[in-house]
Amino acid sequence: MAAVQDLLLVPLALLALQASLCHGACVELDSDTEAVAMEGFKLGCISCKMRGEVPATASVNWYFKAKDETEFSHLYSFEDQTPEIIDPRFYGRLGWNGSKNTKDLQDGSIYILNVTFNDTGTYECIFSRNLIYTNYEFQTNASKIIVMKVVPRLTRGLASILSEVMMYVSIIGLQLWLVVEMIYCYRKIAAAGEEALRESASRKNSRMLH
Ligand SMILES: *[C@@H]1O[C@H](CO)[C@@H](O)[C@H](O)[C@H]1NC(C)=O
Ligand SMILES: *[C@@H]1O[C@H](CO)[C@@H](O)[C@H](O)[C@H]1NC(C)=O
Ligand SMILES: *[C@@H]1O[C@H](CO)[C@@H](O)[C@H](O)[C@H]1NC(C)=O
Ligand SMILES: *[C@@H]1O[C@H](CO)[C@@H](O)[C@H](O)[C@H]1NC(C)=O
């Protein structure tokens, strides 16, 4: 009887696992750090709620320190589902890429629409989270640092074109070398064969003379 119950529990447990994977699964992936000039770039920042079952609200603030600056300045804030770009250098160039339609944010990523070389620098994202228990609230903060570097758009294209050319050159080169080698071997073998024929013929001739 107990065994039957256990057997019934396995699919239920799997189902529950699947449900939790589909819904609440939160993984703190690191952000990319290399942006390409004039293209879009996602600054990733994920902070998983340690107690998944406890309701919470969170706000996210981003700070930016350009390559030649020494202090962080306030870049962006997202609170109560309201985004605000604070740094004028980024007006019209930042979009929200984090959790949508919830105050319980776990993904605070933002998106730079058109990266310029001036965007090179250090970004900090700070999560302020209020865990709401029945009788009290508990505040936790989490922060992530991203050091972002901007590369020109061409390097990748150029590198891949170069590597493609190199690939063809090496393939054609290898095949030419193979053909040359084959001709060389063929000639050598043919010459050796002729030599052997001539030798045996001359031996026969000399035997006949004696
Ligand atoms: C990220 O934000 C950009 C700009 O707002 C938008 O075009 C893009 O669709 C967003 N991507 C996701 C996955 O939300
Ligand atoms: C991106 O920015 C550059 C320089 O700031 C500008 O020339 C270009 O038109 C912009 N591209 C887009 C798609 O906004
Ligand atoms: C980058 O910064 C320099 C100096 O601060 C400024 O002159 C230039 O216009 C900026 N370029 C862009 C594309 O914002
Ligand atoms: C979390 O950050 C907020 C401001 O964003 C600050 O007022 C609060 O004291 C911080 N809490 C902790 C526990 O560090």
pLDDT tens-place string over residues 42-55: 999 999 998 888 99
Quick one: 52 and 106 in the same domain?
A: yes
- C-alpha count within 13 angstroms, C-beta hemisphere, residue 48: 12
Residue 78 to residue 110: CA distance in whole angstroms? 10
Ligand 1 contact, 97 CB (< 6 A): yes
Eight-state DSSP code of residue 52: T
Name, in order, each residue with C-beta under 8 angstroms of 31's C-beta and a sequence gap of 6 or more.
Answer: 42, 43, 44, 45, 109, 144, 146
Q: Ligand 2: distance of its center to the CA of 116 in Å? A: 8
Task: State the Rg of the chain over Cα.
Answer: 35
Assess contact for 145 and 122: CB atoms under 8 A. Answer: yes
Residue 170 to residue 188: CA distance in whole angstroms? 26
Atom of ligand 2 lying closest to residue 113 CA? 14
153-203: pLDDT as tens digits: 765 567 788 888 999 999 999 999 999 999 999 999 998 888 888 888 888
What is the residue-averaged pLDDT of the chain? 87
Quick one: 68 and 135 in the same domain?
A: yes
Residue 61 to residue 143: CA distance in whole angstroms? 9
Domain count, the chain: 2
Q: Ligand 3: distance of its center to the CA of 12 in Å? A: 59
Assess whether pLDDT exceeds 60 at residue 13.
no
We report the CATH number of the domain holding residue 76 as 2.60.40.10
Quick one: 49 and 109 in the same domain?
A: yes
Residue 116 to residue 40: CA distance in whole angstroms? 10
Q: Average of pLDDT values for 58-84?
A: 96
Quick one: 136 and 191 in the same domain?
A: no
Residue 140 to residue 128: CA distance in whole angstroms? 6
Provide the whole-model pTM: 0.68
Which of residues 83 and 7 earns the better pLDDT score? 83
Assess whether pLDDT exceeds 70 at residue 2.
no
Quick check: is 26 in a domain? no
In a mutational test of the pocket of ligand 2, which residue from 114, 116, 117, 150 has the highest number of ligand atoms less than 8 Å from its CB? 114
Longest dimension (CA), the chain: 124
Q: Are strands 41-43 and 82-85 parallel, antiparallel or unpaired?
A: unpaired
User: Domain containing 205: what range?
Assistant: 2-21+163-209
∠ CA 24-42-150, nearest 5°, is 150
